[in-house]
């Protein structure tokens, strides 16, 4: 059974992290998990002039103490120190977060993305690196400052389901996680469509699209049997990103589950389409 007992919340003291606090608290309340805050600081982000007048070790110790004080005072009312541990580290933020999640037994990482052109500004960012390298699921949202978490009683999840060999893993996780929080789960499968005039294309290829839908339906039934899932299924034809984000918006989903590659590699766990979905989704995206 999928369980989330320990949530890791990396913070950089930004407005996005402050806005993300409500979502983290809601996630922890839903699953009864403990939240740990972690901040990774740059040990050498000081004024270079200081190195000429003071020993490096002294400057580094000062940086560490400043970071510790800032971390201990950050979001104290939302996450009391007595209940929510705080971990301070220095170095490459993404590497430390991924390693801590692995060695510390964390079941979920919750991170905000930052506003702007998602693919351009996030690809080299800490969040993107964590998405590519973390073994555990990662919950992100670009809209933390504008999305208010829905009441605890509102529990609608959408899972983007494919037909490949990894789809059973994604479906099983989504099904078990949704069940654990008593959420309604809807599966959405999108048959890609291309061409400048989608309406004409669908009209000309209606028999072919119908056959694809039937084949997809059969395959999804197999996946649901294997994953012990009984979720309702919606099969759409069109641009994958648009169809998934529209479904999440229509169903008022508070989570959209998408799959990542189960193993990181040269190309990473995510592809451009996954970034686009995370960028445009009207709700938080859980990448598993």
Concatenate the DSSP letters of all residues of the chain into one string: -----EEEEE--S-HHHHHHHHHHHHHHHHHT-EEEEEEEE-TT-S-TTHHHHS-HHHHHHHHHHHHHHHHHHTTTTTS-TTTS-EEEEES-HHHHHHHHHHHTT-SEEEEE--SS-HHHHHTTSHHHHHHHH-SS-EEEETTTTTPPPPPTT--EEEEE--SSTTHHHHHHHHHHHHHHTT-EEEEEEEE---SS-HHHHHHHTHHHHHHHHHHHHHHHHHHHHHHT----EEEEES-HHHHHHHHHHHTT-SEEEE---SS--TT-S--HHHHHHHHH-SS-EEE-
Position 201 scores a pLDDT of 53
pLDDT at 77 over 90: yes
Q: Please name the residues in contact with 148: beta carbons below 8 A apart, sequence gap of 6 or more.
A: 22
Please give the average per-residue pLDDT across 253-278, as a whole number: 74
pLDDT per residue as tens digits for the range 110-155: 998 764 444 444 444 888 889 889 999 999 987 777 777 777 778 9
171 touches 227 (CB < 8 A)? yes
With a pLDDT cut of 90, the percent of the chain lying above it is: 60
Position 45 scores a pLDDT of 61
pLDDT at 281 over 60: yes
Position 144 scores a pLDDT of 72
Q: Please name the residues in contact with 87: beta carbons below 8 A apart, sequence gap of 6 or more.
A: 36, 37, 38, 39, 100
Concatenated DSSP letters of 6-63: EEEEE--S-HHHHHHHHHHHHHHHHHT-EEEEEEEE-TT-S-TTHHHHS-HHHHHHHH
pLDDT per residue as tens digits for the range 145-182: 777 777 777 899 999 999 998 999 999 999 999 999 99
pLDDT per residue as tens digits for the range 92-101: 999 999 999 9
With a pLDDT cut of 70, the percent of the chain lying above it is: 82
Which CATH number fits the domain 150-288, given the four candidates 3.40.50.720, 3.40.50.300, 3.30.360.10, 3.40.50.620?
3.40.50.620
Position 122 scores a pLDDT of 47
pLDDT at 43 over 50: yes
pLDDT per residue as tens digits for the range 186-205: 999 999 876 555 555 555 46
CATH level 2 (architecture), domain 1-149: 3-Layer(aba) Sandwich (3.40)
Tell me the domain boundaries of the chain.
1-149, 150-288
209/190: higher pLDDT: 190
The rounded mean pLDDT for the chain is: 85
150-288 has the same fold as 1-149: yes
């Amino acid at each position: 059974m999928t369980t989330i007992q320990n949530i890791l919340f990396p913070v950089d003291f930004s407005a996005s992290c402050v806005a993300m606090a409500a979502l983290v608290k809601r996630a922890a309340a839903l699953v009864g998990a403990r939240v740990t805050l972690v901040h990774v600081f740059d040990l050498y982000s000081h004024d270079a002039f200081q190195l000429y007048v003071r020993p490096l070790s002294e400057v580094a110790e000062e940086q560490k103490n400043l970071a510790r004080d800032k971390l201990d005072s950050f979001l104290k009312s939302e996450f009391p120190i007595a209940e929510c541990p705080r971990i301070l580290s220095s170095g490459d933020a993404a590497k430390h977060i991924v390693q801590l999640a692995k060695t510390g037994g964390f079941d979920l990482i919750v991170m905000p993305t930052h506003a702007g052109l998602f693919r351009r500004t996030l690809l080299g960012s800490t969040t993107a690196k964590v998405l590519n390298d973390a073994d555990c699921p990662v919950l992100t949202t670009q809209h933390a400052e504008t999305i208010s978490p829905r009441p605890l009683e509102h529990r609608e999840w959408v899972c983007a389901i494919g037909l490949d060999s990894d789809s059973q893993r994604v479906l099983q996780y989504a099904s078990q996680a949704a069940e654990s929080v008593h959420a309604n789960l809807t599966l959405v499968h999108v048959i890609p469509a291309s061409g400048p005039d989608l309406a004409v294309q669908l009209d000309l290829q209606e028999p072919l699209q119908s056959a694809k839908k039937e084949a997809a339906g059969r395959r999804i039934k197999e996946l649901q049997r294997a994953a012990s899932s009984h979720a309702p299924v919606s099969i759409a034809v069109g641009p994958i990103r648009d169809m998934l984000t529209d479904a999440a918006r229509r169903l008022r989903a508070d989570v959209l589950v998408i799959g990542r590659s189960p193993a990181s590699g040269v190309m990473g766990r995510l592809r451009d389409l996954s970034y686009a979905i995370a960028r445009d989704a009207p709700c938080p995206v859980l990448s598993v």
